[in-house]
Amino acid sequence: MSLKARAVEKIERSGISNYAFDDDQLILCGVRYALNPCACGAPDCDGVALQRVSQVSSPTLQ
């Protein structure tokens, strides 16, 4: 199963239905997350680690 499919399963299991993907990044409430494999080895781990992607703010025009 791909990381994206695992992430979808994780999100829907959490009861979240308002999400999107763009360039292999997950978008929740306007916040972008990178999908990374998790290798923690915990028995209940789903194998997906979400890492918040910092966005460079654009300069404000005045």
Q: Is residue 47 a part of any domain in this protein?
A: yes
> Quick one: tokens of 45?
């781990």
Nearest alpha carbon to residue 36 among 21, 23, 51:
51
Residue 9 lies in a domain: yes
**Which stretches of the chain score pLDDT less than 70?**
56-62
pLDDT digits (tens, 9 = 90+) for 26-42: 999 889 999 999 989 89
Host domain of residue 27: 3-52
Alpha carbons 50 and 35: distance in angstroms, whole number: 5
Contact 51, 20 (CB under 8 A): no
Q: What are phi and psi of 45, to 5 degrees?
A: -75, 140
**Single-letter amino acid code for the residue at 47:** G
Query: What is the domain count for the chain?
Result: 1
Q: Is residue 57 part of a domain?
A: no
pTM exceeds 0.85 for this model: no
Confidence at residue 23, expressed as pLDDT on a 0 to 100 scale: 84
